[in-house]
Amino acid sequence: MSDLAIVQDLVERVTANVERVIMGKRNAIRTTLLALLCEGHLLIEDVPGLGKTMLARAIARSIGCTFSRIQFTPDMLPSDVTGVSVYNQKTQTFEFRPGPIFAQITLADEINRATPKTQAALLEAMEERQVTVDGVTYPMARPFLVLATQNPIEYEGTFPLPEAQVDRFLMRIHLGYPERQYEIAMLDSQTDHHPIQDIGQVVTVEELTAAQDAVKTVYVDEQIKHYIVSLITATRHHPDVYLGASPRGSLALFKTARAYAAIQGRDYVIPDDVKALAVPALAHRLIISPSARIKNINPETIVQETLGTVAVPGLRSVAR
């Protein structure tokens, strides 16, 4: 089986398995798998009850990864996330007891209910794939995905995520309410038990890491790279943007476009791949100016405007 066939086969198997639980949300499922293939992290922002937690559980069960769930609350401490060193009286030494972050798929549920200090406990783990406690560094296992859920900020008892925290998420998506026929199907599927109980492993960790390596072989032309940087630069000079996308945004768009191309069965990226991922990869990185907020302008609209103003690169033959 070719490298691209490995990626496509993995995505199809996991998607079909997860859709037994999360119905009518194929795009959200595939976007989550995109983040996993790119070894990035995903932020799901939406109101309660739409299946954010169940999506994470279903994907973890499908892949056979270790899974942990952290329920963030205002009284949670950073050590509740990363772990703590405990003194062992028998050995007379300190022993490190890992926190729930040491799982291959970690669900950070309602992350914006924790204080910024506790939210910051995730920064090192998400960016550097390691955790430092009491001067000792502990590496994270591969694969490692933080799947965070967040309720809209206007709800009571929440704290805004720090900009540095938000920027470390590869993408942000919204699930939205299910369509009528899928909501009825959901009622039928839970007549006597929850379908998550029937979800089994369909992909091994080894297959996932092989697919992650295959995505890195997808070719990106120089013109596509210039197109990505042009989009990022345009967000920084938009009149309604106080702070545009960072260089991490360029990397996010670069990585996700490669994974998207691989899922489509191509070993090269085209401009449409970049366009398809621009909103989930960039919108959460923009800080809107106060005047734009008054006019109810949102980051998604600005990214769409940018896609309409930045010239798309033309085709040219490339000797490979």
Q: Name the domain count of the chain.
A: 2
> Is position 46 within any domain?
yes
What is the mean pLDDT of the segment spanning 36-40? Answer: 91
Same domain assignment for residues 27 and 162: yes
- Dist CA 53 CA 80 (whole Å): 20
Domain boundary among 157, 192, 212: 212
| pLDDT tens sequence across 86-130 | 888 888 788 888 889 998 889 988 888 888 888 888 888 888 888
| 319 confidence band (pLDDT: 50, 70, 90) | very low
* Last residue of one domain, picked from the residues 212, 238, 263: 212
Is 318 part of any domain? no
pLDDT tens profile 182-230: 888 888 888 787 888 888 889 888 899 899 999 999 999 999 999 999 9
Task: Decide which of 169, 191, 212 is a domain's last residue.
Answer: 212
- pLDDT per residue as tens digits for the range 256-287: 999 999 999 899 999 999 999 999 999 999 98
Within this chain, do residues 187 and 302 fall inside the same structural domain, yes or no? Answer: no
Domain encompassing residue 272: 218-309
Average pLDDT value for the chain: 86
In a domain, 97, yes or no: yes
The fraction of the chain above a pLDDT of 90, given in percent, is: 31
User: What is the per-residue pLDDT for 12?
Assistant: 92
Token pair, residue 130, equals 């390691």
Encode 181-216: b = buried (16+ Cβ within 10 Å), e = exposed.
eeeeebeeeeeeeeeeeebeebbebebbeebbebbe
**Burial status of residue 89 (CB atoms within 10 A of its CB: 0-12, 13-18, 19 or more):** exposed
Q: Could you give the C-alpha distances from 221 to 4, 140, 156, 311, in angstroms and in order? A: 18, 32, 47, 16
Q: What is the CATH number of the domain that holds 248?
A: 1.10.8.80
CATH of the domain at 176: 3.40.50.300
Residue 153: pLDDT band (50, 70, 90) is: low
- In a shared domain, residues 256 and 158: no
